[in-house]
Chain A
Amino acid sequence: MHEMSLAEGILQLIEETARREQVNRVSAVCLEIGQLASVEVESLRFCFDAVVKGSVADGARLEIIDVPGTGWCLDCSEAVPMTDKLSGCPRCGGYRVQVTGGTEMRVKELEIE
Protein backbone atom coordinates (compact mmCIF):
# COMPACT_ATOMS: atom_id res chain seq x y z
CA MET A 1 0.00 0.00 0.00
CA HIS A 2 2.64 2.56 0.95
CA GLU A 3 5.77 0.53 0.55
CA MET A 4 8.02 3.59 0.26
CA SER A 5 6.93 4.81 3.72
CA LEU A 6 7.48 1.32 5.10
CA ALA A 7 10.95 1.15 3.57
CA GLU A 8 11.76 4.51 5.15
CA GLY A 9 10.46 3.22 8.50
CA ILE A 10 12.72 0.18 8.21
CA LEU A 11 15.72 2.39 7.42
CA GLN A 12 14.97 4.58 10.47
CA LEU A 13 14.99 1.53 12.74
CA ILE A 14 18.23 0.31 11.14
CA GLU A 15 19.94 3.69 11.52
CA GLU A 16 18.84 4.11 15.13
CA THR A 17 20.11 0.65 15.99
CA ALA A 18 23.36 1.22 14.10
CA ARG A 19 24.01 4.46 15.99
CA ARG A 20 23.20 2.91 19.35
CA GLU A 21 25.22 -0.26 18.77
CA GLN A 22 28.00 1.46 16.82
CA VAL A 23 27.54 -0.74 13.81
CA ASN A 24 29.32 0.19 10.60
CA ARG A 25 27.61 -2.14 8.23
CA VAL A 26 24.34 -4.04 8.09
CA SER A 27 24.57 -6.96 5.67
CA ALA A 28 21.06 -8.40 6.02
CA VAL A 29 17.70 -7.31 7.35
CA CYS A 30 15.10 -9.83 8.44
CA LEU A 31 11.43 -8.81 8.43
CA GLU A 32 8.24 -10.52 9.46
CA ILE A 33 5.36 -9.56 7.20
CA GLY A 34 1.89 -10.96 7.79
CA GLN A 35 -0.09 -12.31 4.85
CA LEU A 36 -2.92 -9.94 5.76
CA ALA A 37 -0.70 -6.86 6.22
CA SER A 38 -1.54 -5.55 2.73
CA VAL A 39 2.13 -5.25 1.86
CA GLU A 40 3.21 -5.83 -1.70
CA VAL A 41 6.45 -7.66 -1.00
CA GLU A 42 8.02 -7.12 -4.42
CA SER A 43 7.32 -3.42 -4.22
CA LEU A 44 8.77 -3.31 -0.69
CA ARG A 45 11.98 -4.99 -1.94
CA PHE A 46 12.27 -2.43 -4.72
CA CYS A 47 11.71 0.51 -2.33
CA PHE A 48 14.05 -0.95 0.29
CA ASP A 49 16.93 -1.23 -2.18
CA ALA A 50 16.34 2.38 -3.21
CA VAL A 51 16.12 3.94 0.27
CA VAL A 52 19.12 2.14 1.81
CA LYS A 53 21.51 3.44 -0.87
CA GLY A 54 24.33 5.34 0.81
CA SER A 55 23.29 4.17 4.30
CA VAL A 56 24.87 1.56 6.61
CA ALA A 57 22.57 -0.98 4.98
CA ASP A 58 23.50 -0.19 1.36
CA GLY A 59 23.26 -3.45 -0.59
CA ALA A 60 21.88 -5.40 2.39
CA ARG A 61 19.99 -8.63 1.73
CA LEU A 62 16.30 -8.46 2.61
CA GLU A 63 14.87 -11.64 4.12
CA ILE A 64 11.12 -11.73 4.55
CA ILE A 65 9.36 -14.25 6.78
CA ASP A 66 5.74 -14.80 5.79
CA VAL A 67 3.37 -14.93 8.76
CA PRO A 68 0.10 -16.79 8.02
CA GLY A 69 -3.24 -15.02 8.44
CA THR A 70 -5.66 -16.13 11.15
CA GLY A 71 -9.13 -14.99 12.13
CA TRP A 72 -11.98 -15.59 14.55
CA CYS A 73 -15.35 -16.50 13.07
CA LEU A 74 -18.08 -14.87 15.13
CA ASP A 75 -20.65 -17.43 13.93
CA CYS A 76 -18.56 -20.59 14.46
CA SER A 77 -16.83 -19.16 17.59
CA GLU A 78 -13.66 -20.70 16.33
CA ALA A 79 -10.19 -19.66 15.17
CA VAL A 80 -9.84 -20.12 11.41
CA PRO A 81 -7.03 -19.70 8.87
CA MET A 82 -7.39 -16.76 6.49
CA THR A 83 -5.62 -16.44 3.17
CA ASP A 84 -6.99 -13.01 2.41
CA LYS A 85 -9.19 -10.61 4.27
CA LEU A 86 -12.22 -11.15 2.08
CA SER A 87 -12.14 -14.92 1.82
CA GLY A 88 -14.65 -15.43 4.65
CA CYS A 89 -14.85 -18.37 7.04
CA PRO A 90 -13.59 -21.65 5.53
CA ARG A 91 -16.03 -23.58 7.78
CA CYS A 92 -19.37 -21.79 7.37
CA GLY A 93 -18.64 -19.55 4.38
CA GLY A 94 -19.83 -16.47 6.31
CA TYR A 95 -18.07 -13.15 6.40
CA ARG A 96 -18.30 -12.36 10.08
CA VAL A 97 -14.63 -13.11 10.61
CA GLN A 98 -12.36 -10.85 12.61
CA VAL A 99 -8.67 -10.83 11.77
CA THR A 100 -6.57 -12.01 14.75
CA GLY A 101 -3.13 -12.57 13.23
CA GLY A 102 -1.08 -12.06 10.10
CA THR A 103 -1.15 -8.26 10.03
CA GLU A 104 2.32 -7.77 11.51
CA MET A 105 5.04 -5.71 9.85
CA ARG A 106 8.14 -6.06 12.00
CA VAL A 107 11.89 -5.77 11.74
CA LYS A 108 12.97 -8.98 13.42
CA GLU A 109 16.75 -8.88 13.30
CA LEU A 110 19.76 -7.44 11.55
CA GLU A 111 22.92 -9.18 10.42
CA ILE A 112 25.78 -6.84 11.21
CA GLU A 113 29.48 -6.80 10.54
Chain B
Amino acid sequence: MCTTCGCGHGETKIEGHAHDHDHEHGHDHHHGHDHNPYAPARRHGHSHAPGMTQSRMLKIEQDILSKNDAYARENRAFLAGRRVFALNLVSSPGSGKTTLLCKTIGMLKGKSAVAVIEGDQQTSNDAERIRATGAPAIQINTGKGCHLDAHMVGHAMRQLDLPERSLLMIENVGNLVCPAAFDLGEAHKVVILSVTEGEDKPLKYPDMFRAADLMLLNKCDLLPHLDFDVDQAIESARRVNPAIRVMRVSATTGEGMGDWLAWLEQRH
Protein backbone atom coordinates (compact mmCIF):
# COMPACT_ATOMS: atom_id res chain seq x y z
CA MET B 1 0.00 0.00 0.00
CA CYS B 2 1.19 3.54 -0.74
CA THR B 3 2.48 5.00 2.51
CA THR B 4 1.76 8.57 1.45
CA CYS B 5 -1.90 8.28 0.61
CA GLY B 6 -2.98 4.77 1.38
CA CYS B 7 -3.65 3.90 -2.26
CA GLY B 8 -2.54 0.72 -3.92
CA HIS B 9 -5.37 -1.65 -3.24
CA GLY B 10 -6.95 -3.32 -6.25
CA GLU B 11 -5.36 -4.02 -9.57
CA THR B 12 -4.67 -0.58 -10.97
CA LYS B 13 -1.24 -0.23 -12.53
CA ILE B 14 0.30 3.01 -13.68
CA GLU B 15 3.40 2.73 -15.85
CA GLY B 16 6.50 3.61 -13.86
CA HIS B 17 4.51 3.71 -10.62
CA ALA B 18 4.61 0.35 -8.90
CA HIS B 19 1.75 -0.17 -6.53
CA ASP B 20 2.29 -3.62 -5.15
CA HIS B 21 4.84 -2.83 -2.45
CA ASP B 22 5.37 -0.36 0.38
CA HIS B 23 6.90 2.32 -1.77
CA GLU B 24 8.46 5.35 -0.18
CA HIS B 25 8.94 7.34 -3.33
CA GLY B 26 9.54 10.98 -2.78
CA HIS B 27 7.00 12.62 -5.06
CA ASP B 28 5.60 15.65 -3.43
CA HIS B 29 1.90 15.38 -4.17
CA HIS B 30 -0.88 14.37 -1.88
CA HIS B 31 -0.56 17.00 0.72
CA GLY B 32 -4.06 17.91 1.49
CA HIS B 33 -6.33 15.02 0.89
CA ASP B 34 -5.24 12.73 3.64
CA HIS B 35 -5.91 15.21 6.33
CA ASN B 36 -9.59 14.92 6.40
CA PRO B 37 -11.05 17.40 3.91
CA TYR B 38 -14.52 17.00 5.29
CA ALA B 39 -16.20 18.81 8.11
CA PRO B 40 -16.58 16.73 11.26
CA ALA B 41 -19.88 14.94 11.48
CA ARG B 42 -22.38 16.35 13.93
CA ARG B 43 -23.67 14.04 16.59
CA HIS B 44 -27.29 14.17 17.41
CA GLY B 45 -27.60 11.18 19.61
CA HIS B 46 -30.87 9.61 20.54
CA SER B 47 -31.56 6.11 21.69
CA HIS B 48 -34.13 4.13 19.75
CA ALA B 49 -35.57 1.22 21.73
CA PRO B 50 -35.24 1.64 25.50
CA GLY B 51 -33.54 -1.30 27.17
CA MET B 52 -31.89 -2.39 23.92
CA THR B 53 -28.43 -1.56 22.58
CA GLN B 54 -27.93 2.16 22.62
CA SER B 55 -27.74 3.42 19.07
CA ARG B 56 -27.67 6.92 17.73
CA MET B 57 -27.69 8.67 14.41
CA LEU B 58 -24.67 10.42 13.01
CA LYS B 59 -25.19 13.04 10.29
CA ILE B 60 -22.80 12.62 7.35
CA GLU B 61 -24.35 14.48 4.39
CA GLN B 62 -21.54 13.68 1.97
CA ASP B 63 -21.66 12.82 -1.70
CA ILE B 64 -20.77 9.21 -2.35
CA LEU B 65 -18.25 10.36 -4.95
CA SER B 66 -16.89 13.14 -2.70
CA LYS B 67 -13.52 11.43 -2.40
CA ASN B 68 -13.15 11.31 -6.18
CA ASP B 69 -14.35 14.89 -6.46
CA ALA B 70 -11.76 16.05 -3.89
CA TYR B 71 -8.99 14.43 -5.96
CA ALA B 72 -10.47 16.00 -9.10
CA ARG B 73 -10.32 19.44 -7.46
CA GLU B 74 -6.65 18.86 -6.61
CA ASN B 75 -5.95 17.80 -10.20
CA ARG B 76 -7.74 20.88 -11.52
CA ALA B 77 -5.65 23.15 -9.26
CA PHE B 78 -2.45 21.37 -10.32
CA LEU B 79 -3.34 21.84 -14.01
CA ALA B 80 -4.38 25.47 -13.50
CA GLY B 81 -1.02 26.14 -11.84
CA ARG B 82 0.70 25.17 -15.08
CA ARG B 83 -2.07 26.51 -17.32
CA VAL B 84 -2.52 23.07 -18.83
CA PHE B 85 -5.74 22.47 -20.79
CA ALA B 86 -7.02 18.95 -20.08
CA LEU B 87 -9.69 16.99 -21.92
CA ASN B 88 -11.31 13.70 -20.94
CA LEU B 89 -12.03 11.70 -24.13
CA VAL B 90 -14.79 9.16 -23.74
CA SER B 91 -16.44 6.70 -26.14
CA SER B 92 -17.23 3.05 -26.70
CA PRO B 93 -14.32 0.77 -27.58
CA GLY B 94 -13.34 1.04 -31.23
CA SER B 95 -14.62 4.56 -31.95
CA GLY B 96 -11.16 5.61 -33.13
CA LYS B 97 -10.05 7.68 -30.13
CA THR B 98 -6.40 6.70 -30.34
CA THR B 99 -6.18 7.26 -34.10
CA LEU B 100 -7.88 10.64 -33.64
CA LEU B 101 -5.36 11.52 -30.93
CA CYS B 102 -2.37 10.49 -33.05
CA LYS B 103 -3.68 12.63 -35.92
CA THR B 104 -4.33 15.58 -33.57
CA ILE B 105 -0.83 15.35 -32.10
CA GLY B 106 0.65 15.28 -35.61
CA MET B 107 -1.30 18.36 -36.67
CA LEU B 108 -0.33 20.28 -33.51
CA LYS B 109 3.37 19.52 -33.90
CA GLY B 110 5.38 22.71 -33.55
CA LYS B 111 2.32 24.60 -32.19
CA SER B 112 1.32 22.97 -28.91
CA ALA B 113 2.92 20.37 -26.68
CA VAL B 114 0.54 17.46 -26.08
CA ALA B 115 0.80 14.75 -23.42
CA VAL B 116 -1.52 11.76 -23.10
CA ILE B 117 -2.82 9.56 -20.31
CA GLU B 118 -4.19 6.30 -21.70
CA GLY B 119 -6.73 4.22 -19.79
CA ASP B 120 -7.40 0.58 -20.64
CA GLN B 121 -8.09 -2.52 -18.62
CA GLN B 122 -4.97 -4.22 -19.97
CA THR B 123 -1.96 -3.67 -22.27
CA SER B 124 0.10 -0.57 -22.97
CA ASN B 125 -0.56 -0.76 -26.73
CA ASP B 126 -2.28 2.62 -26.89
CA ALA B 127 0.43 4.46 -24.95
CA GLU B 128 2.98 2.93 -27.30
CA ARG B 129 1.02 4.18 -30.32
CA ILE B 130 1.00 7.69 -28.83
CA ARG B 131 4.72 7.57 -27.95
CA ALA B 132 5.46 6.60 -31.55
CA THR B 133 4.20 10.09 -32.54
CA GLY B 134 6.83 11.63 -30.26
CA ALA B 135 4.37 12.76 -27.56
CA PRO B 136 4.84 11.63 -23.95
CA ALA B 137 2.22 9.12 -22.76
CA ILE B 138 1.49 7.11 -19.64
CA GLN B 139 -0.67 4.03 -19.62
CA ILE B 140 -2.99 3.31 -16.72
CA ASN B 141 -4.30 -0.25 -16.58
CA THR B 142 -7.44 -0.36 -14.50
CA GLY B 143 -7.39 -4.17 -14.14
CA LYS B 144 -11.01 -5.08 -13.48
CA GLY B 145 -12.01 -1.41 -13.26
CA CYS B 146 -14.30 0.03 -15.91
CA HIS B 147 -13.30 3.72 -15.69
CA LEU B 148 -10.47 6.06 -14.75
CA ASP B 149 -10.86 7.93 -11.47
CA ALA B 150 -9.35 11.21 -10.34
CA HIS B 151 -6.93 9.52 -7.97
CA MET B 152 -5.15 7.38 -10.57
CA VAL B 153 -5.14 10.22 -13.07
CA GLY B 154 -3.61 12.51 -10.41
CA HIS B 155 -0.69 10.10 -10.01
CA ALA B 156 -0.22 9.81 -13.77
CA MET B 157 -0.37 13.56 -14.50
CA ARG B 158 2.31 14.26 -11.91
CA GLN B 159 4.58 11.70 -13.54
CA LEU B 160 4.24 13.36 -16.93
CA ASP B 161 6.41 16.42 -16.82
CA LEU B 162 3.71 18.72 -18.21
CA PRO B 163 5.09 21.95 -19.67
CA GLU B 164 3.32 25.29 -19.12
CA ARG B 165 0.36 25.90 -21.45
CA SER B 166 0.44 22.39 -22.86
CA LEU B 167 -2.48 20.12 -23.69
CA LEU B 168 -3.30 17.01 -21.70
CA MET B 169 -5.51 14.43 -23.38
CA ILE B 170 -6.91 11.75 -21.11
CA GLU B 171 -8.19 8.81 -23.12
CA ASN B 172 -10.65 7.07 -20.85
CA VAL B 173 -11.46 3.37 -20.85
CA GLY B 174 -13.74 2.55 -23.80
CA ASN B 175 -17.07 2.53 -21.99
CA LEU B 176 -20.11 4.75 -22.47
CA VAL B 177 -21.47 4.22 -18.96
CA CYS B 178 -19.26 4.60 -15.89
CA PRO B 179 -16.74 7.29 -16.96
CA ALA B 180 -19.66 9.77 -17.14
CA ALA B 181 -19.83 9.99 -13.35
CA PHE B 182 -16.13 10.44 -12.58
CA ASP B 183 -14.70 13.93 -12.75
CA LEU B 184 -10.95 13.70 -13.42
CA GLY B 185 -10.21 17.42 -13.15
CA GLU B 186 -10.58 18.02 -16.89
CA ALA B 187 -11.84 21.21 -18.52
CA HIS B 188 -14.30 19.31 -20.74
CA LYS B 189 -15.45 15.81 -21.53
CA VAL B 190 -15.41 15.14 -25.27
CA VAL B 191 -17.45 12.18 -26.48
CA ILE B 192 -16.49 10.42 -29.70
CA LEU B 193 -19.18 8.60 -31.63
CA SER B 194 -18.16 6.80 -34.80
CA VAL B 195 -20.51 6.44 -37.74
CA THR B 196 -20.11 2.66 -37.67
CA GLU B 197 -22.14 2.68 -34.45
CA GLY B 198 -25.89 3.34 -34.13
CA GLU B 199 -27.44 6.82 -34.45
CA ASP B 200 -29.34 6.18 -31.24
CA LYS B 201 -26.30 5.68 -29.00
CA PRO B 202 -26.92 9.03 -27.27
CA LEU B 203 -30.41 7.80 -26.33
CA LYS B 204 -29.09 4.44 -25.16
CA TYR B 205 -26.28 5.96 -23.06
CA PRO B 206 -27.66 9.40 -22.16
CA ASP B 207 -25.45 10.06 -19.11
CA MET B 208 -22.30 10.20 -21.17
CA PHE B 209 -23.73 12.46 -23.86
CA ARG B 210 -25.16 14.73 -21.18
CA ALA B 211 -21.79 14.97 -19.41
CA ALA B 212 -19.92 15.94 -22.59
CA ASP B 213 -19.59 19.47 -24.01
CA LEU B 214 -18.50 18.35 -27.47
CA MET B 215 -19.34 15.33 -29.62
CA LEU B 216 -16.95 14.34 -32.41
CA LEU B 217 -18.68 12.27 -35.05
CA ASN B 218 -15.72 10.23 -36.23
CA LYS B 219 -14.98 8.04 -39.27
CA CYS B 220 -17.10 10.34 -41.49
CA ASP B 221 -15.08 9.17 -44.52
CA LEU B 222 -17.06 5.91 -44.28
CA LEU B 223 -20.48 7.59 -44.59
CA PRO B 224 -20.90 6.80 -48.33
CA HIS B 225 -20.73 3.08 -47.48
CA LEU B 226 -23.16 3.13 -44.56
CA ASP B 227 -26.83 3.82 -43.79
CA PHE B 228 -25.86 6.03 -40.85
CA ASP B 229 -28.19 9.04 -40.54
CA VAL B 230 -26.05 11.97 -39.37
CA ASP B 231 -29.02 14.27 -38.68
CA GLN B 232 -30.69 11.65 -36.55
CA ALA B 233 -27.50 11.09 -34.55
CA ILE B 234 -27.18 14.82 -33.90
CA GLU B 235 -30.86 15.05 -32.96
CA SER B 236 -30.42 12.16 -30.49
CA ALA B 237 -27.45 13.90 -28.89
CA ARG B 238 -29.31 17.22 -28.63
CA ARG B 239 -32.29 15.47 -27.12
CA VAL B 240 -30.20 14.38 -24.11
CA ASN B 241 -28.02 17.49 -24.09
CA PRO B 242 -29.46 20.58 -25.82
CA ALA B 243 -26.16 22.45 -25.41
CA ILE B 244 -23.77 19.86 -26.90
CA ARG B 245 -21.60 20.96 -29.85
CA VAL B 246 -21.15 18.52 -32.69
CA MET B 247 -18.35 18.26 -35.26
CA ARG B 248 -18.00 15.78 -38.10
CA VAL B 249 -14.46 14.50 -38.43
CA SER B 250 -12.40 11.79 -40.02
CA ALA B 251 -9.04 11.07 -38.43
CA THR B 252 -8.12 9.06 -41.53
CA THR B 253 -8.75 11.67 -44.25
CA GLY B 254 -8.40 14.76 -42.05
CA GLU B 255 -11.94 15.96 -42.85
CA GLY B 256 -13.24 18.32 -40.16
CA MET B 257 -9.99 18.18 -38.21
CA GLY B 258 -9.51 21.93 -38.76
CA ASP B 259 -12.72 22.67 -36.81
CA TRP B 260 -11.60 20.41 -33.97
CA LEU B 261 -8.17 22.05 -33.78
CA ALA B 262 -9.78 25.50 -33.89
CA TRP B 263 -12.04 24.49 -30.98
CA LEU B 264 -8.96 23.36 -29.05
CA GLU B 265 -6.96 26.49 -29.81
CA GLN B 266 -9.85 28.81 -28.85
CA ARG B 267 -10.08 27.30 -25.40
CA HIS B 268 -6.48 26.49 -24.76
Interface residues of A (CB under 8 A from B): 1-2, 5-6, 9-10, 12-13, 16-17, 20-21, 23, 27, 31, 38, 74, 85-86, 95-96, 98-99, 104-113
Contacts and interface: CB of A to CB of B under 8 A. Distances in A.
A65 B238 CA distance: 31
Interface string B118-153: 000000000000000000000000000111010000
A38 B123 CA distance: 30
A84 to B, nearest CB: 9
B239 A13 contact: no
Interface in B143-188: 145-147, 149, 177-178, 180-181
Contact of A1 (B40, B177, B238, B242): B177
A86 B36 contact: no
A107 B64 contact: yes
24 contacts: A2-B146, A2-B147, A13-B60, A13-B64, A13-B67, A16-B38, A20-B40, A21-B41, A21-B43, A21-B58, A31-B64, A38-B181, A85-B206, A86-B239, A86-B240, A99-B210, A105-B64, A106-B63, A107-B64, A108-B59, A108-B60, A109-B59, A109-B60, A110-B58
Nearest to A27: B55
B266 interface: no
Q: Is the interface of B mostly helix, strand, loop or mixed?
A: mixed
Contacts of B66: 9, 13
B108 to A, nearest CB: 33
Given A16-B36, A86-B239, A38 B60 contact: no
Contacts of A111: 55-58
A66 B63 CA distance: 15
Interface residues of B, number: 37
Contacts of B65: 6, 9, 105
Contacts of A109: 57-61
A53 to B, nearest CB: 15
Contact of B207 (A20, A38, A113): A38
Contacts of A6: 64-65
A109 B60 CA distance: 5
Given A1-B207, A112-B57, 7 more contacts: A9-B67, A13-B66, A27-B55, A86-B206, A86-B240, A106-B62, A110-B57
Contacts of B67: 9, 12-13
B181 A20 contact: no
A17 B58 contact: yes
A106 B54 CA distance: 25
